[in-house]
């Protein structure tokens, strides 16, 4: 196993993750609702830019990560599933310092996302 330290490896990891997320019974409907059944390459490009900015010091991602999720019909259970699936995949396929940083970032972003969606919890998720 090698470290998660190039754009090519991050891109390949995300391709695999999205194949899993697309067919997941909890996450799949949210992704399909937001992105449709067609080509997700534009979205994958954005998410690759995001992780390359976080992990490799690029400035390819323009920002707006939290705002995008505030508009989605997601609850804490979605965040739990997302972070579990993504962390497991990272651990099964990579190792090294950048991999450790990726796992740490997933945890932090999961915490922030859970805290942001909590206030609307009692009313259920916002559906546009
Ligand atoms: C720590 C957890 C998460 C991370 C790091 C993450 C990362 C990202 C990033 C970087 C984007 C692109 C935002 C942009 O276009 O600027 C995105 C969009 C998206 N995420 Fe997440 N995500 C997380 C959790 C979730 C969860 C729990 C779901 C639920 C299924 C989800 C579903 C989506 C969808 C559907 C979009 C596309 C939104 C749109 O373009 O309208 N994400 N995510």
Domains for the chain: give ranges and CATH numbers. Answer: 7-120 (1.10.490.10)
User: Which residue among 17, 53, 65 has the greatest number of ligand 1 atoms within 8 angstroms of its CB, and so is best to mutate?
Assistant: 65
Closest CA to ligand 1's atom 4: 109
Q: Which atom of ligand 1 is nearest to the CA of 79?
A: 27
Whether 122 shows a pLDDT value over 60: the answer reads no
Is a pLDDT exceeding 80 seen at residue 77?
yes
**Rounded (10°) CA dihedral 118, 36, 40, 70:** -20
Collect all residues with Cβ–Cβ distance below 8 Å to 82 and sequence separation of at least 6.
21, 27, 110
Q: Whose CA is nearest to atom 41 of ligand 1?
A: 34
Q: Which residues contact 120 (CB under 8 A, 6 or more apart)?
A: 126
Report which ligand 1 atom has the smallest distance to the Cα of 34.
35
pTM: 0.92
3-class secondary structure, 56: helix
- Cβ(64) – ligand 1 distance below 6 Å: yes
Q: What is the average pLDDT value for the chain, to the nearest integer?
A: 92
How many Å lie between the centroid of ligand 1 and the Cα of residue 21?
Answer: 11
pLDDT digits over 13-36, tens only?
Answer: 999 999 999 999 999 999 999 999
Contacts of 45 (CB under 8 A, 6+ apart): none
């Amino acid at each position: 196993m090698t470290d998660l330290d190039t754009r090519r490896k991050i891109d390949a990891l995300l391709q695999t993750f999205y194949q899993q997320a697309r067919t997941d019974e909890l996450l799949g409907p949210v992704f399909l609702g937001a992105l449709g059944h067609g080509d997700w390459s534009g979205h994958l490009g954005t998410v690759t830019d995001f992780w390359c900015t976080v992990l490799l010091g690029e400035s390819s991602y323009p920002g707006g990560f939290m705002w995008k999720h505030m508009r989605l019909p997601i609850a804490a259970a979605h965040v739990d599933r997302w972070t579990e699936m993504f962390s497991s995949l990272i651990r099964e396929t990579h190792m090294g310092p950048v991999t450790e940083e990726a796992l740490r970032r997933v945890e932090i972003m999961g915490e922030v996302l859970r805290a942001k969606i909590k206030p609307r919890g009692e009313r259920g998720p916002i559906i546009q």
